[in-house]
Structure 1
Amino acid sequence: MPQSRAAGLLAIYPHITSRDRRLLQLLDDHQVLTTDQIHRMLFSARRTCQIRLSELRALGLLDRFRFSRDGGGSQPWHWVLGHHGHRFQAAVHDRAEPTSRSSRQLVQRLSANPNLTHLLTANEFFVRLTTHARQHAATRLDRWWSETATTKQYRTVTADGHGLWSVDGTTVGFFLEADTGSEPLGRVVAKLDRYAALIRRGGPRYPVLFWLGSHQREEHLHQLLRSRRGEVPTATATHDTEPAAAVWLPAGSTRRVRLVDLSSDHGQPVADNPNYDDDGVFVL
């Protein structure tokens, strides 16, 4: 008699380590990570990481894709959940059993997503914080929410991510706007209106971090920020920096500070309320 699908998944369980479970959860939450990102977060030796990823792929827990580089060569492997990975995570979170077809479609849609570079950029920000915390015992990334999780919680705010970062007992919350240069800066600044509305609803007054691709773009953004009221705290840094370090330039300041030194107010326990409109006005 052939094994049931459930029995087939159970046969994989003895091969899944606690580190594997963390990786599966990361991919469930954040969709895609490169080999290098996984290595920095979870492994000491790159070769050990590569071998383990191949083993997890052979078990059907992971899948991967990559594209060619302009000018020759290939991009790094991009890792996602495989069918058994989707099944395992569905069991963990009491979700419906996915079909093999639905798992394939998820990988295909993700690999063809025109916003893939933007997603990897946002993930890279949190990967660097996670890596920093591995190397510095007094630091901790207490929360890493994806765009989807952030929007679900805060409703009208569509940040690229939200986090809580702690150093020596001090915790700062933040919203991330990972900029890849695809939007005019005027449109980027206009996003602050939604954060202002969230603050007026009694939500957290977290700094909005603009993580930019160049110092020139950062300078131009600060020129636009000068024309706004300071209702929403903001700070900028560039992709070539380490987010935990003293690289953040608050609007209106000339001195760069550490992430943990940015002003942060956690607001009310319930950050968003459906009885408030986008202008912060209570409605029935």
Structure 2
Amino acid sequence: MPLSRTASLLSLYPHITSRDRLLLQLLDDHQVLTTGQVHRMLFSARRTCQLRLAELAALGLVERFRFSRDGGGSQPWHWVLGHNGHRFQAAAHGRPEPTPRSSNQTVQRLSANPHLAHRVLTNEFFVRLAEHTRRHGNARLERWWSEQITHKQFRTVTADGHGVWTDTGVTVGFFLETDTGSEALGSRVVAKLHKYGELIRGGGARYPVLFWLGSEQREEHLHRLLRGQHTAVPVATATHSTDPASRVWLPREATSRVSLAELPSDHGQAVAANPNYDDGVLLL
């Protein structure tokens, strides 16, 4: 039986597992995940995942929505924090208690956001890395930061996300730029690389900037643009159809693809010296 939306949080505790807490933190950090993404990160069986999500929804910890597909059918369920999920995360992080109205507004604004598909696709990149770690014990997603946390920490850059990845003892940081094909690559790339260059010149992190593109045609076009840019920013590209943990990354001016762990990476002096540098929460 669903608990009241205003029930004491203490009454929820016997129902919340450590895996549930990780899911709530993921949704707090990254706002939305599909059923398939939750399954691939946290569950072995899809049916078990579906049943558990339904139970968490009955507790008011999560909510779901989905839209119809053009041409028929429906998109997958998209999961977000429910009101009790917002309350739990607020208590866990010392934030003010949300009201039912504010929680409802948060869900409505997120679900109607025209950039929702871009956010889900960006999360998909990191979900694939997390999924890879479940099959390969020598790999670990050390850090997964959202656009908001990345901008807060690095200030000058507006990447779609930032991560730190370890594979077979090699650790690299990276910035992610997710391309949905809706923007002109030329003006966007020039502006982005300028900001990353400023970060490097200021002693900040020299991480590779990963452009994750929707097609091979977009990737070829981007490399033609990069040949005309003089920059110290390391850049690599791959397409959405690939496993980002594999040898799919084509560095600028390279002829062969490499793995994520083979890309150049330097944390920089400013990061190490910054007393406000926060290593984040999620580590899979």
TM normalised by structure 2 equals 0.93
CA contact (8 A) 2:34 2:77 kept: yes
| Counterpart for residue 131 of structure 1 | 131
Number of residues paired by the alignment? Answer: 271
- C-alpha displacement of 1:40: 0.1
- Partner amino acid for 1:227? G
Identity of aligned residues (%): 72
Q: Is the 8 A contact 2:65 2:77 kept in 1?
A: yes
Counterparts of 1:143 and 1:164, CA distance in 2 = 5
Partner AA of 1:72 in structure 2: G
Q: Does 1:252 align with 2:275?
A: no
Q: What secondary structure does 1:172 align onto?
A: strand
Equivalents in 2 of 1:254, 1:230: separation in Å?
Answer: 19
Cα distance, 1:230 vs. partner?
3.7
Q: Deviations over 1:167-220 (max 9, x none)?
A: 122100000000001110112212110000000110010000000000000000
**3-state SS of paired residue (1:12):** helix
User: Equivalent residue for 1:278?
Assistant: none
Structure 1 residue aligned with 2:60: 60
Specify the alignment match of 2:216 in structure 1: 215
Q: Is contact 1:160-1:175 (8 Å) kept?
A: yes
Q: Which has the higher contact order (CA 8 A, sep 6+)?
A: 2
Cα deviation code 1:5-58 (max 9, x no counterpart): 886211011000000000000000000000000000000000000000000000
The aligned runs of 1:200-279 (5 Å cut-off) are 200-270=201-271
Q: Give the structure 1 partner of residue 278 of structure 2.
A: none
Partner SS for 2:8: helix
Change (3 A) 1:147 1:214: same
Let me know the Cα RMSD of the aligned residues: 1.6
Counterpart of 1:43?
Answer: 43
Amino acid aligned to 1:114: P
User: In the alignment, what sits opposite 1:277?
Assistant: none
- Asked if structure 1 preserves the Cα contact closer than 8 Å seen for 2:205 and 2:271, the reply is no
Instruction: Answer with 212-221 or 64-73: which moved more.
Output: 64-73
For the residue of structure 2 that corresponds to 1:11, the secondary structure is: helix
Instruction: Assess if the C-alpha contact under 8 Å between 1:139 and 1:166 holds in 2.
Output: yes
Deviation of 1:71 after TM superposition, in Å, equals 1.2
User: Does the 8 Å CA contact 2:197/2:231 hold for their aligned counterparts?
Assistant: no
CA contact under 8 A between 1:204 and 1:267: conserved in structure 2?
Answer: yes
CA distance in 1, matches of 2:255, 2:139: 26
Matched residue, 1:30: 30
Normalising by structure 1, we get a TM-score of 0.93
**CA positional deviation for 1:151:** 0.3
Report 1:33-182 matches (<5 A): 33-182=33-182
Deviation at 1:144, TM superposition (A): 0.2
C-alpha separation in 2, matches of 1:147 and 1:29: 10
> 2:271 aligns to what SS in structure 1?
coil
Q: Match of 2:91, as an amino acid?
A: A
Deviations 1:67-91 (A, max 9, x none): 0111111110000000000000001
Distance in 2 between the 1:73 and 1:10 partners? Answer: 40
- Shift, 1:228, TM fit: 1.1
Q: Secondary structure at the match of 2:23?
A: helix
Q: CA deviation at 1:134?
A: 1.0
Tell me the SS of whatever aligns to 2:180.
Answer: coil
Structure 1 counterpart of 2:9:
9
Unmatched runs of 5 consecutive residues or more in structure 2: 275-284
C-alpha distance in 2 between matches for 1:270 and 1:35: 35
Secondary structure of 2:187's counterpart equals helix
Q: SS of 1:91's equivalent?
A: helix
Matches within 5 A, 1:182-197: 182-190=182-190, 191-197=192-198
Structure 1 residue 268, shift from structure 2 partner: 1.4
Unaligned runs of 5+ in 1: 274-284
Q: 2:282: which partner in 1?
A: none
Once residues 30 and 39 of structure 2 are traced to their aligned partners in structure 1, the CA distance between those partners, rounded to angstroms, is: 16
The answer to whether the 8 A contact 2:197-2:232 is kept is yes
